[in-house]
Structure 1
Amino acid sequence: MGSGGSAGRGARLVAAEGPDGVEQRLEVRGRQVPDELWAQQGLRKLYLSDAGLREVPDELAELQHLRTLALDGNELMEVPEAVCDLPRLAHLYLGRNGLQGLPPSFAQLQSLRCLWIEGNFLAHFPRALLQLPELRSLQLGDNRLCRLPAALPRMAGLRGLWLYGNRFQEFPPVLLRMDHIRVLDLDRNRIASFPDLTGLASLRLLSYDHNPVRQPPCVGDEVQLVGDGAQEFMEARQERLQSLQCQEEEEEGTEAAPVSPEDGPEDGEGEFAVLTGSPEET
């Protein structure tokens, strides 16, 4: 069925995109993906979201060019083994299923850059993720995590980590060693206090809303905060930075004041002690 069709009663539409960039839409009836889909081995993107699937056939592994796969919003109780046999897969969406873990074979997805697995039943951080060097974005929100592995810094490529809606009682100390992380979301946990986070030099966004904290976390000046008291904190920080900037400008202006005739050279050379730039530039 080509693009632009409409699903009949009891059917759901799924989307696929081939190497030519043309999107197709196919009907899924009775939790079954049409066989014609698996014959399209050149597919690059496949969207099977909210299709009521309880399993995925082994034929999925034949789509060796697949780079994006969406299986979110289904009824999967475990990750289909065929998913782990897709070497080019870069974006994988498994949110809102019934997953309690990831198989060891998940570590075979060495090209994976983005994984969304929110809204499942993960009580432990999947160890297979520690073996994915290309992973940049990891969405683990709304699970049952209460701790993170000490080996987490091994994921040196990770830039965004979403941990909202879990069961953390305290700020995971291993995160203090994730100095490459840029986005960190810890909303809706049970964290009562945060350590000094100014050492996370790459951090640009920290979300800590709906935690029982009394004051915003201490972060670097480049970090945007989202949470209770964050607006007031950032306004005060901005005022402080502006005040410092004005003070520096005033000091520079004082240094650049004209030299008086009594103190300066008689021939008039160097009437301004400092013009602009560093001493090497003048």
Structure 2
Amino acid sequence: MGNSSRKEAEEEGGEEEEEGDGAAVEEGEATEKKKEEEEEEDELPLGVEELLASGDPVLDLSYRKLRRLPSRVCSLEYLEKLYVCGNRLRRLPSGVARLQVLRTLALDFNKLDDVPPAACQLANLTRLYLGSNRLMSLPSELRNLQNLRCLWVESNYFQRFPRLLYELPHLRSLQFGDNRLRSLPSDLWRMEALRGLWLYGNRFREFPRALLRMESLEILDLDRNQISSFPNLAHLPGLRLFSYDHNPVKGPPKVGEEVELVGEGAQEAMETRARRKEARRRAAEKEAEEEAAAASAAGGSGEEPVIHGILKHSSSAPSHRPNGVAEGVLEAEAQEEGKREQGDEDRIVVEYDEAELEYDEGGLEYEQEDLVYEGKGYEYEAAELEYDGDEVNYEYSDEGEEPEEPERHRKGT
């Protein structure tokens, strides 16, 4: 027994030593990371120095083979948009949190294992791009981004849908394509602001029933899954584009008359729908022509047609009116006749108050950059939505649109 006890004590002591060594290694790594973040770069890639000194609120350091973000970036507190896509970043320096004016941060096509904590402190951020990294989850600190409207996390390793996204009240565009989702939470309807949802390239075998309650969705993409049947989607009033291509189905589901379809049999279905609409239009025109002909025939027989509503004041108005004319109309005509008898030659003008019927276009603006979809060989253009082609080049513009990326990416701002 003594030998056994001594052996157990030795084993426990060995385990404690291993734990101590592990802690020391982790502490050393943390110190090294901190030192790496704080040290100045010996040499910046060609052209980066000029960009840092430009004073431009938009800084694009994409595809510069950067292993870490230049520390000088953290001092550019006037930055509104920062693009560092296609580099070799594994983390961001904590000083990025000082960029409180930043609205767009693009970190896609890097080597991030986690969402950088500094990014979660950017309270004014409206667009965050994290696609094509190594993410498996989102940190709870992401809920600090209360102004976030657009989140792209495509081509990562998510197996579960992160419910913390429910706490982002203004999130309109969510790109979750090319991940490993098999299902969606039943209370997904809580994301009431969501307008565009991309779920292509996941592992759905059945249509997620939670989507049937997403009445505000305008774009829904379920390409490249394993769904063999779709339910009736006609009751989704907001839907304008539904893509179901590369699923084991032979035809589209039932959808509303205004919904554009992309997938097996979609073209035929939309052509049939267009023919039906054209037939209804022609039938309505024919009916209107028949009614007009009937009214004309009634006028030719000497019968006075009944006039509904307020009659325009005119000197050529007939002196007699049918019994169906409202008393208010007759009274207005009597007053007009009295004015003519008094020799009043002034013409009566019905004023039109445009102020009451002014159409404020500014109140109906829709930010297209939030809902840009790229799908092969298809283009959808409307006042509020845009659906573009596949595998486009990575480009940015100064204002108005999302960053455009290769492999189902986006148009940039």
Confirm or deny: 8 A CA contact 1:14 1:48 kept in the other structure. no
Q: What are the within-5 Å matches in structure 2 for residues 22-171 of structure 1?
A: 23=59, 31-171=67-207
Deviations 1:17-59 (A, max 9, x none): 9985465659966612211111111211111101101111111
2:260 to 207, 210, 224: 224
1:257 Cα deviation after fit: 1.9
Gap change, CA 1:104 and 1:24, over 3 Å in 2: closer
- Matched length: 268
2:269 to 233, 254, 263: 233
Confirm or deny: 8 A CA contact 1:13 1:25 kept in the other structure. no
Equivalent in the alignment of 1:269 = 304
**Does 1:172 pair with 2:208?**
yes
SS at match of 1:258: helix
Q: What are the within-5 Å matches in structure 2 for residues 232-251 of structure 1?
A: 232-251=268-287
Q: Partners in 2 of 1:248 and 1:114 — Cα distance?
A: 43
1:147 Cα deviation after fit: 0.9
Equivalent in the alignment of 1:3 = none
The one-letter amino acid paired with 2:270 is M
Q: Partners in 2 of 1:160 and 1:14 — Cα distance?
A: 37
Is the deviation greater in 54-63 or in 26-35? 26-35
Gap change, CA 1:183 and 1:234, over 3 Å in 2: same
Gap change, CA 1:68 and 1:143, over 3 Å in 2: same
The one-letter amino acid paired with 2:275 is E
Confirm or deny: 8 A CA contact 2:147 2:170 kept in the other structure. yes
The one-letter amino acid paired with 1:269 is E
2:290 to 249, 254, 258: 254
Confirm or deny: 8 A CA contact 1:96 1:117 kept in the other structure. yes
**Does 1:193 pair with 2:229?**
yes
Gap change, CA 1:64 and 1:52, over 3 Å in 2: same
Confirm or deny: 8 A CA contact 2:57 2:79 kept in the other structure. no
Structure 2, unpaired ranges of 5+: 1-43, 312-413
Q: Partners in 1 of 2:100 and 2:220 — Cα distance?
A: 33
Confirm or deny: 8 A CA contact 1:66 1:86 kept in the other structure. yes
Relative to its length, the structure with more helix (as a share) is 2
Is the deviation greater in 43-52 or in 12-21? 12-21
The one-letter amino acid paired with 1:151 is D
The one-letter amino acid paired with 1:115 is L
Deviations 1:176-230 (A, max 9, x none): 1000000000000011011000000010000000000121111000000001110
Q: Partners in 2 of 1:240 and 1:27 — Cα distance?
A: 51
Gap change, CA 1:65 and 1:239, over 3 Å in 2: same
Q: Partners in 2 of 1:225 and 1:115 — Cα distance?
A: 24
1:255 Cα deviation after fit: 2.0
Confirm or deny: 8 A CA contact 2:216 2:238 kept in the other structure. yes
**Structure with greater contact order relative to length (CA < 8 Å, sep ≥ 6):** 1
Confirm or deny: 8 A CA contact 1:44 1:66 kept in the other structure. yes
1:256 Cα deviation after fit: 2.1
TM-score (normalised: structure 1): 0.86
Confirm or deny: 8 A CA contact 2:61 2:83 kept in the other structure. no
Q: CA RMSD in A?
A: 2.9
The one-letter amino acid paired with 1:103 is P
Q: Partners in 2 of 1:97 and 1:232 — Cα distance?
A: 39
SS at match of 2:253: coil
Confirm or deny: 8 A CA contact 1:14 1:47 kept in the other structure. no
1:148 Cα deviation after fit: 0.9
Gap change, CA 1:151 and 1:12, over 3 Å in 2: farther
Percentage of pairs with the same residue: 49
1:72 Cα deviation after fit: 0.3
Q: Partners in 1 of 2:245 and 2:275 — Cα distance?
A: 23
